[in-house]
Structure 1
Amino acid sequence: MMALRGSPTYISLRWRLFCGLRRQIGLLMLLLHAMNMVGGQIRYSIPEEMKKGSVIGNVAQDLGLDLKRLHSGRARIVTGENVHYTELKTDKGILVVNERIDREQLCGDITPCSFSFEVILENPMELHRITVEVLDINDHAPVFPNKDKPISFEISESAVVGVQFPLQNYVLSPNDNFILKQHANPDGSKYVEMVLQKPLDREQRPHLSLKLIAVDGGTPQRSGTVNIDVTVLDANDNAPVFNQSVYKASVMENTMRGTNIITVNATDADSGSNGVIVYSLSKMKGSAADIFSIDENTGTISVSGQIDYEKDRKYEVRVEARDQGGLTGTSKVVLDVIDVNDNAPVINIMSLSSSLSEDSRPGTTIAILNVKDADSEKNGQIKCSIDGKHPFKIESSLTNYYNLVSDQHFDRESVSEYNITITATDFGTPPLCSSTKLHLKISDVNDNAPFFDKSSYSAQITENNSPGISIFAVSARDSDWNQNARISYLLEDTQVSGSPVSTYVSLNSETGVLSAVRSFDYEQIKQLQLVVKAQDGGSPPLSSNVTVKILIQDQNDNPPQVLYPVQTGGSLVAEMVPRSADVGYLVTKVVAVDVDSGQNAWLSYKLQKATDRALFEVGLQNGEIRTIRQVTDKDAVKQRLTVIVEDNGQPSRSATVIVNVAVADSFPEVLSEFTDFTQDKEYNDNLTFYLVLALAVVSFLFITCLVVIISVKIYRWRQSRILCHSNLPVIPYYPPRYSDTLGTGTLQHVYNYEVCRTTDSRKSDCKFGRAGSQNVLIMDPSSTGTMQRMQSETSILDETRLSFRGEKLETSGKYFCHRIRKKTEPLTSGVDDLFKFKPFLTFALLINIQ
């Protein structure tokens, strides 16, 4: 059975077909969405008058999205003129009715009736278009404009059969004179006219009362009624007739007010006042009544308002010609509006990222733009471009939507921000354009390590500095920004002379200032080499190292030190010069060093004092002591020279050394003179203090232990007398450092001694020393009086072991010791041997000064 239009079966069948079509469209849109992830388009169809909250469709399912994506992408509806009718439930992914939809109010006579809007998602950006078609339901009954006021017609009784009176879709109540005739417009719309089918006779029936019923095609059908009053006029039996049933004309949308468009013409066969025609416009919809006007006398239609192609592209105007007798003729005027490029493109920014990471890949979407042009055809076609040379490009996504994407990699250190001007231009003549400006900042990524101003640093600091003093500062820079460019300075953990570098210097982590932790001593350490690391605050942090060399500058803080002649406190060193020495004879050489460096270690030697200044001189640079004249017999045997050694520092420091020279040809002569040789004693204040302190301590200990010592000594003396036998003589007690001697032999008592030790002799009687030159006399009061012959030839020292004897000299109060002979040889030969090597032998004379 065929379903009738308007019946429930027909509506159900239509709904099922539409649902099937919607599923096919949904599948197609899902396929398109899979091919292009930047956007999709779906279409729903719903009947009008749905309740608020009714589900239109499952957007998440139809777009292939899950609910988490809708929530994280902050899905929302943007643009569109009728978006208030719908609402997107992101928690359920469905689209629901937000407001009652009246198709007649929304679209009027436009078929099909639909509205569209876009859904946008972020992170990443996606754009989807949704179209909702509103299906008509039979929810309105026909309504007459003035249902309480009947329609009145004044018809001449001479009206010819077949004359038409325009009406809407009506059903006329049964009568003998009028019938309804339906006509169709070219656009498909229909209208109804009431046609006179039987001549009127005013005399028989001056008034006709009819009822007009309007019935719609819905299910159930709805209707409305109105009364029609027909008045039959007298004797004007010819109505005006237009020469064309339809007039057509074109008008530019920018036509000025008052411009004539077209003139219609109608004629009336009557004469006199019944033939006078008046023109008027009727049945004008919308804003046409404000745009067009007609001269009632000439029938010229002119522009009286603003024509806008974007609002109405065609106007249909009914022109009515009425004679004086009330007869009318109608005609239709169709006015086509010609588009003019009078609208520039409009750019709307739908979504914009104000900043972009510099490590973003090419193709990253920065902004989504909606560009529209209200003009048509070429006037409405748009192209978008970017002004200037920028690393961006424009890509088209959906209709009238464009994406601004990156075209290459960014480097914030080169360009930190962009001012982008996007221009939209249509293809009209002349073309119109509009532009918008976008400001984009490039956010920093920690992709640059800090770098120092120099490849290596070198600094100097003078020794004996104050701890904590600043040495110098290192400086590093980072091309990144903000936290990524915040630099911290660190000392690498290295060793300097076996100690951590942090025990020598410290580093300010913020300023890079190196400070001394301790006071430096050039003589201990001459330079420091350390490594400084500059590290930024990025994540992960980047760093770089630089080598820093700190040179310790010397100060003249050390006086010269005399290495030779050796000053041994109570000992005297004497250089022996023969009386036959010529001019320039090398007596000895003063050897000194200075632990400072550079000029501070340059030494000069000067003769400060001398017994005879005319006899000796000192080399300024080498410290050599030489004779400046021939030595004579008149020169004193004992010569005392004071040599001062100065460095070249500022201020200079000095040291003095006393050189004793013996001018003699024989050793006995030297001995006879040097027994009475006195030497100056220099005391140090600090030494005196310590000696006094030590004396007090020793005195206390001595008093405490005196009784014990005497008892022990008496006991040992008694034991020694018991143990002494054979050829060991019984001797009185002596201090353990000394031994008794008995004279033997034929030589004088002063030169001939045998050594006899007691059981208490614990210290060696012999001391061996080496002098700096070949002829040296050494006097040592700390020994028991031992003299040793020193020769440069080591073979002489290895020939025999020497025996020594000592005797207390009552006249001089001194002890001295000298070599006499081998134990098996006569003393005389031993004395002679002492002078065989003159002046090339070295003699040591040790004298105990009491």
Structure 2
Amino acid sequence: MRLDIISNKKYLDVNRETGELYIAEKIDRESICPSKTSASCYLKLELILENPVRIFNIEVEILDMNDNAPQFRRDVIHLDISEATPNGERFSLSNAVDPDIGSNSVKTYHLSESEYFKIEVQTGRDGSKFAELILKRTLDREQQAVHNLILTAVDGGTPARSGTASVIVLTLENPLRIFNIELEVLDMNDNAPQFRRDAIHLDISEATPKGERFSLSNAVDPDVGANSVKTYHLSENDFFNIEVQTGRDGSKFADLILSKSLDRENQALHNLILTAVDGGTPARSGTVSIIVHVLDTNDNAPTFEKSLNTVKIFENSPIGSLVINLTAIDLDEGSNSDITYTYSLYTQERTQETFNLNPTTGEITVKGMLNYEDFKIYDMEVIATDKGANSLSGQCTIKILVEDMNDNHPEISIKSFQSPVNENIELDTVIAVVSVNDKDSGDNGIVDLSIPKNMPFKLRESSDNYYELVVSEPLDREKVPEYDITFTVTDRGSPPLSDNETMTLELLDINDNVPQFPQSFYTIRVMENNAPGALLSSLTAFDPDLHENQYLVYFIIEKEIANTSMSMLFSINPENGNLYALKTFDYEIEKEFLFHIEARDSGSPPLSSNVTVHIIIVDQNDNAPVIVSPWRAHGSVVEEKIPRSTDKGSLVAKVIALDTDSVHNSRITYQFLQVTDATLFSLDQYNGEIRTMRMFSYRDPRHQRLVVVAKDNGQPALSATVTIKLSTVETAVKAYSDMTEMPLEYDIFSDLNLYLVIGLGSVSFLLLITILVTIVLKCQKPKPSKTAAPCRNSVISERNSTIADSTLVSNDAYWYSLFLAETRKGKLVVRQPMPKGSRYIVSSIPRGTGLTDTSDSAASTLQV
């Protein structure tokens, strides 16, 4: 296959082998499509294909690019505009052309900055842009006859391109057309007089005499004749006036005449206004400034602000420090005011060695070391001389006062110091004497002595610069064993200087503190059956004193209980306060001990204190329950008979056990260990009552065997057992309640009332004695016990039953059980109701014929 181009081979060509179309020559759209009527531009090609022969028509669109800048047809545009043209008048300008199309063509115009003209861009019917020149303000040919403007056309391409043209505007007077006629143009007064310069500068010496003349430049006026400059006027002033002169050409000019002597120091510059006025109608005028510079002459001597200058300077001012800047004032100027400073007189020889005067600036600085304590006042005279042709001079006196500086530290000296001292030292006692000193003077030499606050001491001034340190508050070594007393001396300078010295005051101990126990009352619990020699507690007291005043010895304050000394029961280590038990205690015999322990120091005189010790014996479960009911003559088997017709719920027997241990360990519960028929009897585990659960039947055996165990509440628990053999009989038994109230047929009942009265009286007497003893014991105890300890021969149980030997207080069931047990012993049992409540006083008396029969009995009465 072979391709070839038939037309437009100038710009495009084709690769005959591959068919690729490529550019043969640079394409210029504006030369191919010069007309801008159509926005599109195409290159039309005809391609021929050989074998078989075929022709293809191809159109290649050429896109425009911004490769042409706008151009004006003329580089310079000339405009003639009359100065009488009104504002807002428009003038057409030739537009720029751009071969590019669309946004790449001319877009807008810009005019160079001008106060008279502006442009306005217009759009033609074909979309082209052109500009119109607009007059903004009236022209004046005399002021500016030609206006040069730059008009710039800018297209809308990226980047934008531009073209410029010069616009030259000529300002014309009212134009006249002359047609072979000679016409004379008459002048009008349209111009004001003008000076060639904006200001006229004149230099006049202040020594110039009055009447001196100075020529001034004249004003010009473009107008002619009467419309030209006619006269001059000078602004009102005190020193100058003018005189108007006429030149050979008829022009007018003015001379400036000095009418009064000048003084530069009063007024160095004179501003005048010269006005030129023409002869037109109406008259026009023009002004110019006349600036007169008054030149100086050396007619003023230097002067100081003060003829006497007093200066104060600190003695520690370093070398080079500024003392004073002496500035003399000379009203002249230039070399006439250049001043040189010199010393005229030294009142002291050492002044020149101590201070330096700068001849140019007049500064006086420190040259040597100053010391207030050596020299206090310096006097000198300084002369100021100018450098004028005829030099003039002035002088002043300087008095330099050296001020004292706080450059000496105050000194402190401890003249005497007493240490150590007893802690009971008396108030207002002097323990130290201190002196202070400061070499400075004035406030710098006044010093104050102080000690730290919150100390039991104060300073007292005894004489000039001498102080005494005295005791102001009581001292206590146990609180503060020693004091570090810092004496600080401070002067009243600014800034203040100070010095200090620290002394240590040691306090000696005295025996002023009694031994102290951590507690005022000790309660120590000791388990009974303890081993002899066991450590009970450590009662250690504390004494804040030192040495022998601190060594403590411990004692037991002797006290006898039941003819037994406390030192036989307890022992205390006299050195460390360890308390030991010397014997084994039995809770059932001794329940508590109350005594005092004393701690005594070894001071002189010795001091002591004591503490109360309460020893409480703690019970152990070391006693097994004892069954006291039903009564047993021999062994542990009890035989009882009950009617066979006993009803359900009837009381058959009551087991009562006693435990001499404490309340907790004496709590007893009852259980069946063995029972012949478990369906026939029930046992209350708390009160030990055995009751029938049903009525007997003919099938039940006649003999029933019950084994009851009574167990206490200790750890480990202890117990006792009783065996009850019950035999059923057919004979009925009277009710218990009847038996309790049946008449007694014993002979002794005739004297029963007498016995009761004696028994009740004895009990009342013993009760009264017991109350009195209890009150006495409670008064001796610091803290009474919460519950009174029971006597050894009694035990209080939670079931409200109490046994004392053969005496029982209980309800009806207890009463019946006691009645059965005591009658078998051959004793008489009597009960008597208490005045209030349902309880009873029960007494058991051995049977006999007289009072002596009951003397061996331990009959007693208890109440619950």
TM-score (norm 1): 0.37
| Higher normalized strand content (fraction of residues) | 2
Structure whose alpha-carbon radius of gyration is higher: 2
| Higher normalized helix content (fraction of residues) | 1
Higher relative contact order (CA 8 A, sep 6+): 1
